[in-house]
Amino acid sequence: MNYGCCRDNNEIPMITIEGDMGGDPIWCTNCGCNLDIDKIPLGKELKVALWQWMHNYGKWIDWETDTLLPNATEQERLHNKKGQKLTWNVQQALNGEYIVTFKPSTSVELYTEIARFDMNE
């Protein structure tokens, strides 16, 4: 199968499930390229669940002010928990054809660190 990245040269592709603001929720673990979810042999229901999860990425951020919402930590935690479950579902669906990992969101930590840095300036 042609993925258009370094995956084309490996026998067992390694993919990462990760939420982000654009693209598909499936990434090449080695080179980091965004993979077309339609080229991964997953059922329609699981693909829809992955898309819905992906579209909820960043709901804990006020994008107009570029700040965290008051319940950001809990929202990100729940988003990551759902992502871990979906990753497990992807692993089961692919039955060993792929090595699948999950990359949780750490945006709350990043925003907190930036705010701490800004306060120290």
Domain boundaries, the chain: 6-119
Q: List the one residue out of 121, 80, 86 whose CA is nearest residue 103.
A: 80
CB 24 within 8 A of CB 34: yes
pLDDT tens-place string over residues 7-49: 556 566 889 999 988 889 999 888 888 888 998 899 999 999 9
Q: Residue 121: what pLDDT?
A: 60
Looking at residues 91-104, what average pLDDT do you find?
A: 93
What does the block give as tokens for 74? 């809990």
Q: Residue 13: what pLDDT?
A: 80
Q: Residue 85: what pLDDT?
A: 98
Looking at residues 88-100, what average pLDDT do you find?
A: 93
Residue 91, pLDDT > 70, answer: yes
